[in-house]
Amino acid sequence: MPTKRAAPSAAAERVAEITAHLEQLVLAGELKPDDRLPPERELAAEWNVSRSVVREAIGRLAALGLVKSRQGSGTRIASPDGSHQLLNYQWLLKQGALRLDHLSAARLPLETTIAGLAAENRSDEHLAQLAAAQTSLANPKHALKAHVAADMRFHAVLAEATGNPIFQIILQPIQELLIESRRRTLGRYGPKLAHEHHAEILAAVERRDAAAARKAMERHIAANSRHLTVLGKPRDDAD
């Protein structure tokens, strides 16, 4: 006969109840990004539970990416992003179920679409931010870390320029996971080639030529994929 499962404890039920309540407040917009949650002791008194129950409920919300804690600032509602999805990608990578060439294949349709929509919807401010990223990428005095950050920033601004926040959320964890590949390609080939590719994309975005922007992004990602193939498989401890 199968072993009978133990009934959930009262504390576990209360954790689930508080988690669900706070989650609904976030989803309903009653708690907005950067709003601060009351201190643990106040929530514990309000729900008539121990602080450990409240702490576990908040931990579950943090695992869902709905809240974040800052030293000296308490627990605040997080802005929507793809950070929690990054853990899934990292786990798949560690298990060998995901390779960086898989991500390159996913980037191709994603970022070519982003480039085209950015060309159609960009603002002058987006152009200024893209140009600033290019300036940083081209600066020979900057270290590799700064060049990687500028490369990532360029792609992030393009996603923002689409006007569709879903693209930002989808792209962010992929960007984070590709930090190591950027270190490898920029470290081997330098920032010049990436800067040239970005310049083609930026020129197309500036003149609102969606087709040209998509084509330029396609060439850029294809070149990155080739470079990774030449360099070999990245280390298992990739970011």
pLDDT band at 8 (very low <50, low <70, confident <90, very high): low
Query: What are the chain's domains?
Result: 10-77 (1.10.10.10), 83-231 (1.20.120.530)
Take residue 237 and report the two structure tokens written for it: 């401890």
DSSP-derived 3-state class of residue 152: helix
Determine the distance from the C-alpha atom of residue 162 to the mean position of all C-alpha atoms in its chain, rounded to a whole number. Answer: 16
Instruction: Tell me the pLDDT tens digit for each residue of 42-101.
Output: 999 999 999 999 999 998 888 777 888 877 778 888 877 666 665 666 666 667 766 777
Model pLDDT for residues 126-154, shown as the tens digit of each residue: 999 999 999 999 998 999 999 999 999 99
Residue 80, helix vs strand vs coil? coil
Identify the helix (H) or strand (E) that includes residue 75. Answer: strand 74-77
Residue 228: other Cβ atoms inside 10 A? 20
Contacts of 174 (CB under 8 A, 6+ apart): 89, 103, 106, 107, 110
Nearest to 221, CA basis, from 173, 182, 168, 183:
182
Measured in whole angstroms, the distance separating CA 128 from the mean position of its chain's CA atoms is 22
